[in-house]
Amino acid sequence: MSQAGLQSGVPPFWNQTGIRRVTWTTHEIPSYHTMGGPIMAINFGLANDYNVFVFGNLSLSNTDAEGRVAVGGNAVLSNYGVGAGITPLPPAGTDPSFVVGGAVNVSSGSNASGNTVISPTSTVINYTMGNPNGALTTGTPIDFAEAERYLKCASLFWGSLEANGTGTVVFGQLNLTGTDETLNIFQLDSTNLYGSGLSLAQLNGINIIAPINSTILINITGTNILYGSYQIFRNGITATRENARKILWNFPEALTWSNSTTAIYGSVLAPYAAAATTFSQINGNIIFDSYTGNAESHNELFEGELPEPTGCLVTTSSTTSSSTSTTTTTTTTTTTTTTTSTTSTTSTTTAVPQPRSQAITDLFESVALQQAALSHILNAEGEKLQKILSFEDLRTETILQANKSVESMVDAVSGLELILKQKLELFDDCLCDGDMP
**Are residues 22 and 84 located together in one domain of the fold?**
yes
**Are residues 211 and 154 located together in one domain of the fold?**
yes
Q: What is the pLDDT of residue 429?
A: 60
Q: What's the CA gap between 421 and 407, in Å, rounded?
A: 21
331 within domain boundaries: no
Q: What is the pLDDT of residue 395?
A: 64
**Are residues 283 and 369 located together in one domain of the fold?**
no
320 within domain boundaries: no
- Give per-residue pLDDT as tens, 71-85: 999 999 999 999 999
| Helix H or strand E encompassing 234 | strand 232-234
**Are residues 133 and 192 located together in one domain of the fold?**
no
Q: What is the pLDDT of residue 411?
A: 61
Domain boundary among 278, 298, 318: 298
Q: What's the CA gap between 55 and 146, in Å, rounded?
A: 10
Q: What is the pLDDT of residue 313?
A: 81
Q: Where are the alpha helices (DSSP H) in 261-395?
A: 356-389
Total domains in the chain come to 3
Q: What is the pTM of this model?
A: 0.69
**Are residues 180 and 277 located together in one domain of the fold?**
yes
**Are residues 175 and 239 located together in one domain of the fold?**
yes
115 within domain boundaries: yes
The residue range of the domain holding 372 is 356-433
**Are residues 100 and 177 located together in one domain of the fold?**
no
318 within domain boundaries: no
**Are residues 420 and 387 located together in one domain of the fold?**
yes
**Are residues 64 and 95 located together in one domain of the fold?**
yes
**Are residues 156 and 286 located together in one domain of the fold?**
yes
Residues of the chain with pLDDT under 70: 1-42, 314-437
371 within domain boundaries: yes
79 within domain boundaries: yes
- Count the helix, strand and coil residues of the chain and give each as a percent rounded to the nearest 5: 25, 30, 45
Domain boundary among 281, 298, 315: 298
Nearest CA to 303 out of 34, 39, 36 is that of 39
Q: What is the pLDDT of residue 43?
A: 87
